[in-house]
């Protein structure tokens, strides 16, 4: 089992949140079997709130900063968080853009933690100075991800469109680790590397660098391009673990890691992702989607308000927000890892896909 999942379970037990655990277990069971029902029985397991698309970086693979514009007013964020919390997801992740580019994000994190939600933050690390690190360590987060794409500072800066981005991200890891120790906080601190075929060779070196800086682990996500190019190859019968990853301790499951090389080679990924039934993504304008890729591929999403959110989610219409043909070019970490964790089998998948998704080597 992945260390972060073990950590979340242990925190729930220590915090006496047995009902949360039971609910998450029941929803995972529903998610595994409920695809033939008209709507999600269990409600979302993974909720994500993109509080802004503003961002100080200009990554080559991302157009979100160019889409920054209208945002929910600060005064509405608490109502949205309350509405998401009322759906009782197992966890709520804050993302962007760069979520820390918005001052209202810190109070929003506090409100999420106050609801007892397993609360997670994604950041580029650029806005994390000593004061911000200390405030984040005091919030009671379950986990923080900092994005670093390459062991070479120059290569990371080139991808991220800003000189000094690597140093800023690594400094953020050091600051967060120091603030965690000073506060006696317990959040997991991960670095997420968006890998392509060239940067796979840099994984081992980056893993050593970020662990030395105080991160608990390195986690991988293959680079997704939007719009996605059509798949050009079938999924292999038994995907191989890339040799560059064989001896590197990583946060991902082995099953997920074995899918990275075929994905980067353009293979059609196995279908039947559970995100339309287990995911919920709220964008900065309050449009809702099943998953992050559905929102980032410029789908229209569904209109909702805090008052109608529950009805929209339970209508079973979140699946409509995933653009046609998107899922066969998607190997998004959170949802595909969730499917591995709950043992969900792909519908009408190849033997290779069944093998991949049923394999839980760690
Ligand atoms: S840091 Fe994230 S949101 Fe900002 S440009 Fe890069 S990928 Fe996009
Ligand atoms: S495969 Fe990707 S795009 Fe499709 S529903 Fe799952 S996370 Fe969303």
Q: Which atom of ligand 2 is nearest to the CA of 330?
A: 2
C-alpha 295, offset from chain centre = 13
What are the tens digits of pLDDT across the range 111-144? Answer: 999 999 999 999 999 999 999 999 999 999 999 9
Pairing of β 143-147 and β 118-123: parallel
Q: Do residues 272 and 338 make contact, with C-beta atoms less than 8 angstroms apart?
A: no
> Is the pLDDT confidence value at 212 over 60?
yes
| Cα(335) to centroid(ligand 2), Å | 7
What are the tens digits of pLDDT across the range 285-340? Answer: 999 999 999 998 767 899 999 999 999 998 889 989 998 778 888 999 988 888 87
The number of residues in the chain equals 362
Q: What is the pLDDT of residue 270?
A: 84
Phi then psi for 144, rounded to 5 degrees?
A: -135, 130
DSSP classification of residue 359: -
Q: How far apart are CA 11 and CA 21, in angstroms?
A: 10
* Domain residue spans of the chain: 3-358
| Cα(97) to centroid(ligand 1), Å | 5
Cis peptide before 97 (omega within 30 of 0): yes
| Cα(296) to centroid(ligand 1), Å | 11
Share of residues in the chain with pLDDT > 90 (%): 66
> Is the pLDDT confidence value at 352 over 70?
no
Q: Is 293 in the pocket of ligand 2 (CB under 6 A)?
A: yes
| Cα(225) to centroid(ligand 1), Å | 13
Q: Which residue has the higher pLDDT, 58 or 33?
A: 58
- What confidence tier does 356 reach under pLDDT thresholds 50, 70, 90? very low
Q: Is 97 in the pocket of ligand 1 (CB under 6 A)?
A: yes
What are the tens digits of pLDDT across the range 193-208? Answer: 999 999 999 999 999 9
Q: Whose CA is nearest to atom 8 of ligand 2?
A: 291
Nearest residue to 42 (alpha-carbon basis) of 25, 18, 55, 66: 25
Please tell us whether the domain made up of 3-358 is placed in CATH 3.20.20.70.
yes
Averaged pLDDT for residues 72-97: 96
> Residue 215: which residues within 8 A CB-CB, separation 6 or more?
146, 173, 177, 189, 190, 191
> Is the pLDDT confidence value at 262 over 60?
yes
Q: Which residue has the higher pLDDT, 29 or 96?
A: 96
Cα first-last separation, the chain: 5
- What confidence tier does 277 reach under pLDDT thresholds 50, 70, 90? confident
What are the tens digits of pLDDT across the range 150-172? Answer: 999 999 999 999 999 999 999 99
Q: Whose CA is nearest to atom 8 of ligand 1?
A: 62
Ranges of H-type helices in the chain: 3-14, 18-33, 77-86, 105-114, 130-139, 153-160, 165-183, 203-213, 254-264, 275-278, 292-296, 309-314, 333-342, 351-358
Q: What is the pLDDT of residue 2?
A: 59
Q: Is 283 in the pocket of ligand 1 (CB under 6 A)?
A: no
Q: What is the pLDDT of residue 17?
A: 66
Q: What is the pLDDT of residue 253?
A: 93
| Mean pLDDT over the full length of the chain | 87
The pTM (predicted TM-score) of the whole model is 0.89
Q: What is the pLDDT of residue 60?
A: 86
């Amino acid at each position: 089992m992945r260390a972060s999942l073990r950590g979340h379970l242990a925190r729930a037990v220590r915090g006496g949140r047995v009902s949360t655990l039971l609910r998450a277990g029941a929803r995972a069971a529903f998610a595994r079997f409920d695809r033939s029902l008209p709507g999600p029985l269990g409600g979302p397991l993974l909720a994500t709130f993109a509080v802004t698309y503003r961002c100080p970086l200009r990554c080559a693979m991302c157009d979100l900063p160019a889409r920054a514009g209208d945002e929910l007013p600060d005064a509405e964020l608490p109502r949205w968080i309350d509405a998401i919390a009322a759906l009782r997801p197992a966890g709520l992740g804050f993302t962007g853009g760069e979520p820390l580019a918005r001052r209202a994000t810190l109070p929003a994190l506090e409100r999420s933690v106050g609801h007892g939600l397993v609360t997670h933050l994604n950041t580029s690390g650029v806005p994390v100075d000593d004061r911000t690190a200390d405030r984040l360590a005091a919030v009671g987060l379950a986990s923080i991800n900092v994005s670093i794409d390459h062991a070479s500072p120059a290569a990371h800066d080139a991808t991220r469109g800003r000189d000094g981005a690597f140093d800023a991200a690594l400094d953020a890891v050091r600051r967060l680790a120091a603030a965690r120790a000073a506060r006696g906080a317990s959040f997991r601190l991960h670095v997420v590397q968006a890998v392509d075929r060239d940067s796979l060779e840099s994984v081992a070196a980056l893993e050593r660098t970020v662990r030395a800086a105080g991160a608990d682990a390195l986690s991988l996500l293959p680079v997704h391009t939007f719009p996605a190019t059509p798949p050009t190859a079938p999924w292999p019968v038994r995907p191989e673990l890339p040799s560059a990853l064989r001896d590197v301790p990583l946060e991902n499951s082995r099953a997920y890691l074995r899918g990275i090389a075929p994905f980067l080679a353009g293979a059609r990924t196995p279908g039947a992702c559970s995100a339309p039934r287990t995911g919920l993504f709220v964008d900065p304008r309050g449009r809702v989607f099943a998953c992050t890729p559905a929102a980032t591929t410029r789908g229209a999403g569904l209109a909702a308000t805090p008052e109608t959110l529950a009805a929209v989610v339970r209508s079973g219409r979140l699946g409509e927000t995933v653009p046609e043909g998107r899922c066969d070019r998607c190997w998004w970490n959170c949802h595909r890892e969730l499917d591995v964790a709950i043992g969900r089998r792909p519908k009408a998948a190849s033997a290779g896909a069944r093998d991949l998704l049923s394999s839980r080597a760690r």
